Amino acid sequence: MLNKQNLPSKIKVGDRWVGEGEPNFIIAEIGNNHNGEIDLARKAVTEAARLGADAVKFQKREIDEVFTKAMQAVPQTNSRALGKTYGEYRKKQELKDEELKEMKILAHSLGMAFFVTPFDLKSAKILAGIGMDAWKIASFDLNHLDLLEFVAKQNQPIFFSTGMANDEEVDSAVNTILKYNNQLIINHCVSIYPTPDADLNLGAVVFFKEKYSPLPIGYSGHEIGFIPTIAAVALGACTVERHFTLDKSLPGPDHSTVSLDPPEFGEMVHQIRRIEKAVADKKKYLHEKEIGIRNKHGKSIVSKTAIPFGTLVTKDMLTCKSPGNGLKPTVMDKVIGSVARVDIPEDTVLTEEMIIFS
């Protein structure tokens, strides 16, 4: 059972807050879409900042720590692969440690937060030395307890994805992290690449908001396009993460399948900013900007016939018409049985000054 005592509703990442009532925290997941090329990584970070991302995220793997030798030796037959074997292909996609440090400096200079997903404990220790604004735990490592505990003990914000797991497994991982660190943002995620609409399970955003309240809930999406991401924001996701590429035609695993290119990412940011304004109010009220149109097109009680001074007003003397600046139809029962205070011409909007209520 989750102990909700002392859990935050907002968590500070870099110089920005993530949580209820704050602008949506938008993460450009560059991941390995730099293909191991530092120039491509620089361009991706710079472009993400121009498009309005709040953070950029990379990935780091010590290949021998993550994959068995047998898995590394699997031949890569795809002509677009970046190596002859799976191991070569994966190693080609890694940035050097000093290059990740450079990406951190560049992101900060552009006003964005910077963090990296470690896929093994050795990578996590290296990243701790580099220093990050937050950590990301990938769905793949939800049951990697040593990694979860190490990251949690860094006492920094943690974005945690929940793909490939059932409810009990998510609970176990969340509780493992919360033993050491309550700065946790839980991302709904489906690890199907790309995810068909019917499998997006966006209602889980609401489920997590109820179950893990008051912790912030986010969305890490792998769908084609970005409309479901916008829907996740409308459902209450306070942060979104989407894979980002400069060019979907580049070789590599994520460019063409689950990534947004610059025009798509920029439009997604624009639409998220619209939606977060649209869902900011959580109660129903009469907006002051509605009053003019309400007065014009709303309904008032109107005289169906002329009603002379002193006449007892009956139901057949009345109807309802626009404009809406007179007595409202909701007081019709009170008007019936009242007495005309003045001569009321036919087709006149009734006001309180025209009648004497009984």
Helix/strand/coil for 300: strand
Share of the chain above pLDDT 90, in %: 89
- For residue 333, name the pLDDT band (cuts at 50, 70, 90): very high
pLDDT at 3: 66
The mean pLDDT of 262-289, rounded to a whole number, is: 94
Share of the chain above pLDDT 70, in %: 98
pLDDT at 114: 98
In this predicted structure, the answer to whether residue 317 has a pLDDT above a threshold of 70 is yes
State the chain's mean pLDDT as an integer.
Answer: 95
Cα–Cα distance for residue pair 101/92, rounded to 1 Å: 18
φ/ψ of residue 81, rounded to 5: -70, 155
The residue behind tokens 């995620």 is 189
Each residue's pLDDT tens digit, 73-94: 999 877 567 788 989 888 988 9
Task: Tell me which of 53-57, 88-92, 155-159, 303-307 is least confident.
Answer: 88-92
Residue spans of the domains in the chain: they are 13-278, 288-356
The mean pLDDT of 139-155, rounded to a whole number, is: 96
Each residue's pLDDT tens digit, 36-80: 999 999 999 999 999 999 999 999 999 999 999 999 999 987 756
pTM over 0.85: yes
Cα–Cα distance for residue pair 150/244, rounded to 1 Å: 28
In this predicted structure, the answer to whether residue 2 has a pLDDT above a threshold of 80 is no
Q: Decide if domain 13-278 falls under CATH 3.20.20.70.
A: yes
pLDDT at 338: 97
pLDDT at 339: 97
pLDDT at 80: 63
- For residue 282, name the pLDDT band (cuts at 50, 70, 90): confident
In this predicted structure, the answer to whether residue 1 has a pLDDT above a threshold of 70 is no
Q: Decide if domain 288-356 falls under CATH 3.90.1210.10.
A: yes
The b-or-e profile of 175-202 (16+ CB within 10 A means b, else e) is ebbbeebbbbbbbbbbeeebbeeeebeb
Return the closest-CA partner of residue 253 out of 28, 82, 29: 82
